[in-house]
Amino acid sequence: MTPLLEVKDLRVSYGKIEAVKGISFSIEQGEVVTLIGTNGAGKTTTLRTLSGLLRPTAGTITFDGKRIDGRPAHDIVSLGLAHSPEGRRIFARMTIEENLLLGAFLRKDAAGIQSDVQRAYDLFPILGERRKQAAGTLSGGEQQMLAMGRALMSQPKLLMLDEPSMGLSPIMMQKIMATIAELKAAGTTILLVEQNAQAALSLADQGHVMEVGRVVLSGTGQDLLVDESVRKAYLGED
Ligand code: ATP
């Protein structure tokens, strides 16, 4: 089977600083793949490059059979790759429903859009209860739900989540992780970037450990969870 996403020898620089130094990985349809690693490893840079916000200096990105490296971000969204960014980037003064609808800005099927808004409310009931309120009144965890809901509104073939648990209470983090598991069970293909390696690897089919711009270790989520070097570096064990 051809992978849904194939990244080969990808390099990305900010001026003279090379943040991603030749990484390769692929994602099969229906898989959850996670990138873990410390701050500055290049995970966010990788996601921003996949979604067209940064241009790679070398390498190729093939998504759903098409080369997408160097294409503009709106083209990439329309091909089915959605990004829920780090820090959430919701629009605080717009209502929750307006924020969700922004995720559907390339769609024309009004009935389908309405049923997907309803699906977001089924997934995250709090969003439905507060649909007419300004999004800035939501808690951090609820804003994360909104960012995920908004990304899903483009009906993505691949959903990229950048640090969905960042800054959340343990309970809210569990809720977000449970939702990712629910999306996975429904067949959504997900690329998950997380600082919380334990939670991410527990969910993931495949994981890649990044350090200073390189993938230094790859394996199934289960293999990495029991790997001694991963346990020491990322799971807080001696
Ligand atoms: P974090 O979890 O902190 O976001 P990360 O693994 O996602 O870490 P990146 O944010 O991709 O890492 O950063 C990779 C490297 O690129 C870091 O050394 C960072 O300082 C650098 N970097 C990131 N954004 C910029 C920028 N806009 N200009 C210059 N350097 C940058």
What amino acid occupies position 68? Answer: I
Q: Residue 127 to residues 39, 61, 80, 141, 174: CA-CA distances in angstroms?
A: 31, 34, 24, 11, 17
Tell me, what's the pLDDT at 238?
60
User: How many structural domains does the chain have?
Assistant: 1
The ipTM, to two decimals, is 0.91
Q: Is residue 224 part of a domain?
A: yes
Q: Domain for residue 104, yes or no?
A: no
130 Cα: distance to centroid of ligand 1 (angstroms): 34
User: Looking at residue 58, which CATH number applies to its domain?
Assistant: 3.40.50.300
pTM, entire model:
0.92
Going from the Cα of 48 to the center of ligand 1, the distance in angstroms, rounded, reads 11
Range of the domain at 163: 5-90+155-234
The residue whose C-alpha atom lies closest to atom 18 belonging to ligand 1 is 40
Q: How far apart are CA 173 and CA 164, in angstroms?
A: 8
Q: Cβ neighbours of residue 192 under 8 Å, at least 6 residues apart?
A: 32, 33, 34, 35, 160, 161, 164, 180, 200, 203, 204
Distance, CA 190 to ligand 1 centroid (Å)? 21
Question: Ligand 1 mean position to 27 CA, how many Å?
Answer: 23
**pLDDT at residue number 201:** 96
Query: Tell me, what's the pLDDT at 191?
Result: 98
Residue 237 is predicted with a pLDDT of: 66
140-152 and 110-123 are packed helices; what angle lies between their axes, rounded to 10 degrees? 150
Q: Report the nearest atom of ligand 1 relative to the CA of 42.
A: 11
What integer best gives the mean pLDDT of the chain? 93
- Is there a domain that residue 171 lies in? yes
- The predicted pLDDT at position 168 comes to 85
Collect the ranges in the chain with pLDDT lower than 50. Answer: none
Cβ < 6 Å from ligand 1: which residues? 14, 17, 19, 37, 39-45, 86
